[in-house]
Amino acid sequence: MIVVTKHSTSEEEILKLMEELQSTYPVQIQKITGSGCTVLGFIGDTSTIDMMQIQEDRRVERVMRVSEPFKKANRAFHPDDTIIEVGGRKIGGKDIAIIAGPCSVESEEQIVEVAEAVKASGATFLRGGAYKPRTSPYAFQGLEEDGLELLKIAREKTGLPIVTEIMNPHTIDKFVEDVDIIQVGARNMQNFSMLKELGQTRKPILLKRGLSSTIEEWIMAAEYIMAGGNEQVILCERGIRTFENYTRNTLDLSAICAVKKLSHLPVIVDPSHATGMKFMVEPMCMAAIAAGADGVIIEVHNNPAKALCDGAQSITPEDFERVINKMRRYTALEERQISGGR
């Protein structure tokens, strides 16, 4: 449920109203000051609250029930777009975030070379998996802690903040210390105990959409993190399972429009995992911009043919340069910008 206050209501009166509501009803109230109005969002069980009674208050413009099960992630609670700042770079708003790097960190030489190349072309963040969720237990599982150390070296050399996937709640403290954005992979999107623990941190979380998750389930996963007090969540559409098997997954571009309508959280697109094929990365990046995405996360490898993971969908640094240059033209059409690399 949300209460919109009248324009004429002073800040002092709004705070008093909040206090009164909080002492009358068993809910938590969140105050959101948007452009032109103040919204009081009720979090908790609102089923027994008499809306008419609140509506009669002289300070209240309107009372509305929110039909969606998510609250903190709901745009009704927070009409303005959320902008997340990491190391002086923004995700959301006018800027298009460009996260690039290999699927997995393989060696110091590899990660530093890729980091330097993608930075020069315009990447604003470096990606690279240290702990890898592989379908086969016999496949390369990542360099784990050593991989985190190599990412830190690449950050030191380039200044790019690092994004990497967490697989186990026991490593949260280490990730909080070492990493700039913690990625929750598709396979862990509904690992609720891990989401709750990440909610206790104050690190930005990149939350990938589950392999077969609905948009509502995905936003509810973000709500788990936000309910704990960590409101810095970036959603990532990375393709879903459908009957189509030509591509690795099916990129659900319309999900971007849906999420933008339902939620204030930034949303980015992963064209690499969504398609599984390098030749589709470029057109899907342009499509992501047209659909209103706030950024992309792209797999880039200096030698895709020898990559230890996801070589078929990884583009070279030269391809990346071309993709970003084309994206700059598309982002300008949308009155947005890529601020890296210039």
Nearer to Mn ion, 76 or 240 (CB): 240
Residue that is written with structure tokens 């459908």 in the block? 242
Does 147 engage in binding with ligand PEP (CB under 6 A)?
no
Question: Which of ligand PEP, Mn ion, none sits in contact with 34, Cβ below 5 to 8 A by type?
Answer: none
The answer to whether residue 106 forms part of the interface with Mn ion (CB under 5 A) is no
Site for ligand PEP in 40-99 (CB under 6 A): none
Among 29, 40, 103, 300, binds Mn ion (CB under 5 A): 103
Task: Give the strands of the sheet with 2-5, arranged side by side.
Answer: 28-33, 38-43, 2-5, 60-64
Evaluated on CA atoms 258, 261, 263, 266, the torsion sign reads positive
* Per-residue binder mask for Mn ion (CB under 5 A), 299-338, x = binder: -----------x----------------------------
The owner of tokens 């949260």 is 172
Query: Alpha helix locations (H) across the chain?
Result: 11-24, 51-55, 108-121, 145-158, 172-178, 192-199, 215-227, 254-262, 271-275, 278-291, 317-333
Burial class for 254, CB neighbours closer than 10 Å (0-12, 13-18, 19+): exposed
Q: Tell me whether residue 95 or residue 299 sits nearer to Mn ion (CB atom).
A: 299
Q: In the complex with ligand PEP, which residue's Cβ is closer, 133 or 283?
A: 133
Contacted by 295, from Mn ion, ligand PEP, none: CB < 5 to 8 Å by type: none
Comparison of 84 and 236: residue with beta carbon closer to ligand PEP: 236
* Stretch (H or E) spanning 237: strand 233-237
Distance CA 340, CA 102 (A): 18
Q: How far is the CB of 26 from ligand PEP (least distance, A)?
A: 38
Q: What are the structure tokens assigned to 14, written together?
A: 């709004």
**Is residue 226 close enough to count as binding Mn ion by CB under 5 A?**
no
Strand duo 162-166 + 125-127: pairing: parallel
45 phi/psi in degrees, rounded to 5: -80, 110
- Residues 296, 268: contact at Cβ < 8 Å? yes
259 belongs to the binding site for Mn ion (CB under 5 A): no
CB-based burial of residue 76 (10 Å sphere; 0-12 exposed, 13-18 middle, 19+ buried)?
Answer: buried
Residue 319, Cα to own-chain centre: how many angstroms?
A: 25
Tokens standing for 133?
A: 């969720």
User: Which one of Mn ion, ligand PEP, none is in contact with 238 (Cβ closer than 5 to 8 A by kind)?
Assistant: ligand PEP
Pick what 185 binds: Mn ion, ligand PEP, none; C-beta below 5 to 8 Å, kind-dependent.
Answer: ligand PEP
For the residues of 252-286, what is the DSSP string, one character each? -THHHHHHHHHB-S-EEE-HHHHH--HHHHHHHHH
We find the least distance from the C-beta atom of residue 108 to ligand PEP, in angstroms, to be 19
Of 183-191, 192-200, 222-230, 332-340, the segment contacting ligand PEP by CB under 6 A is 183-191
- Residue 273 binds to ligand PEP (criterion: CB under 6 A): yes
# chain residues binding Mn ion, by CB under 5 A: 2
Q: Which is nearer to ligand PEP, 291 or 307 (CB)?
A: 307
Among 118, 167, 186, 284, binds ligand PEP (CB under 6 A): 186
From residue 200 to residue 229, the character string flagging contacts with ligand PEP as x (rule: CB under 6 A) and all else as - is: --------x---------------------
By CB under 6 A, which span of 24-32, 113-121, 182-190, 287-295 interacts with ligand PEP?
A: 182-190
- Interface residues with ligand PEP (CB under 6 A)? 103, 129, 133, 185-187, 208, 238, 270, 273
